[in-house]
Amino acid sequence: MTIEQLQQAIDQWIKTNGVRYFNELTNTAVLMEEVGEVARIMARRYGEQSEKESDKNADLADELADVLFVLVCLANQTGVDLTAAVHKNLEKKTLRDKDRHKQNPKL
C-alpha cells in the first residue's frame, strides 16, 4: 500500500465507519495519547522501567498503527499530501545532514 492509498483507505474508513473526522484539535490530542502508549511500551520493554504485568500483552505494532492512523487523519483533514511531504522532508534532510552523521564520532 502506498502512502496515497493509505490516506484514501483511512478517509474511506472514516466516512463509512467513523461517521466523520474528529476536529483537528481533538485528533491532535488523540495523537498525543497514542504516542504516549507507544512511549509506555518502549520505556518498559526496551528502556529502564520495569514492565508491569498489565503491560506485557501490549502490542507495539498495534500502537504504532494507531499513531499512523491518527497522523493520516490529521493529514487528510488539513489537506497534506503525505507522499509529497515525505519526499520534500527527505530532500531537506539530505541537504542539511548529508555529512553530519558521517562525521559524528558518537555513531
CATH classification for the domain delimited by 9-80, as one of 2.60.120.10, 2.60.40.1120, 1.10.287.1080, 1.20.1420.30: 1.10.287.1080
Q: How far apart are CA 87 and CA 4, in angstroms?
A: 13
**Is the whole-model pTM more than 0.85?**
yes
What is the SS3 assignment for 19?
coil
45-96 pLDDT, tens digit per residue, is: 999 999 888 888 999 999 999 999 999 999 999 999 999 999 999 999 999 9
Does the pLDDT of residue 16 top 90, yes or no?
yes
Alpha-carbon distances, residue 50 vs 12, 20, 24, 47, 57 (angstroms): 40, 39, 35, 8, 14
Residue ranges per domain, the chain? Answer: 9-80
Q: Per-residue confidence at 98, pLDDT binned at 50, 70, 90?
A: confident
Q: How far apart are CA 13 and CA 25, in angstroms?
A: 20
pLDDT averaged over every residue in the chain: 95
